[in-house]
């Protein structure tokens, strides 16, 4: 069974999704690819421990306290390539950004390739199922251009500005 709960945040409604033990999704309302990785029927459940822990994490995040991603039980569903990219996103420090090209270089090195397409990285980043916690909003284009965010560029800017002001 897959469960969900809604969370009211300073950037709008978020939908938390769990398999009962792990957080498998965190979606910004109206984001592109909303619930894309969920193929089962979902049931509302406001009492799961994983949701309470996620809400506590988000409360701390939006209070500027920089909670640790390791405090949450996450389970990523996706191709090996996407999961590799999402794991790189997890390592981007609070308040900092990285370019798609920089991630492409890291992935190429891991895969033993001479290069990797930034567009391929962009595709993986845009399908991140656990927004905010796995900080895809911290990925920018060349010269720190705000490009590509499934939750909308206005939300990306709000998150980056928020982190910059609480760094």
> Does residue 162 have an active-site annotation?
no
Once rounded to an integer, what is the mean pLDDT over residues 104-120? 94
* Structure confidence by residue, pLDDT tens digits, 11-57: 999 999 999 999 999 999 887 766 667 788 899 999 999 999 999 99
- Residue 144 buriedness (CB in 10 A; 0-12 / 13-18 / 19+): exposed
pLDDT for residue 76:
94
Taken in order of first residue, the domains within the chain and their CATH numbers are 2-71 (3.30.160.70), 80-165 (1.10.10.10)
Active-site residue, from 89, 97, 136, 140: 136
Give the closest residue to 150 by CA, choosing from 10, 25, 42: 25
Rounded average pLDDT over 75-91: 95
Closest CA to 94 of 134, 147, 51: 134
Q: How would residue 167 be classed by pLDDT, with cut points 50, 70 and 90? A: low
Q: What is the mean pLDDT of residues 4-10?
A: 96
pTM: 0.92
């Amino acid at each position: 069974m897959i469960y969900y709960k809604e969370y009211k945040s300073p950037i709008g409604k978020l939908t938390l999704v769990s398999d009962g033990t792990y957080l498998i999704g965190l979606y910004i309302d109206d984001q592109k690819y909303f619930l894309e990785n969920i193929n089962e029927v979902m049931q509302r459940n406001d009492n799961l421990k994983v949701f309470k822990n996620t809400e506590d994490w988000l409360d701390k995040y939006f209070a500027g306290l920089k909670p640790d991603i390791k405090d949450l039980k996450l389970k990523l569903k996706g191709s090996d390539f996407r999961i590799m990219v999402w794991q790189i996103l997890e390592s981007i420090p609070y308040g900092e950004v990285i370019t798609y090209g920089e991630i492409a270089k890291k992935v190429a090195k891991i895969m033993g390739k001479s290069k990797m397409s930034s567009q391929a990285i962009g595709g993986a980043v845009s399908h991140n199922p656990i927004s905010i916690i796995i900080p895809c909003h911290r990925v920018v284009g060349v010269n720190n251009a705000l490009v590509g965010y499934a939750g909308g560029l206005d939300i990306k800017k709000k998150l980056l500005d928020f982190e910059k002001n609480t760094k």
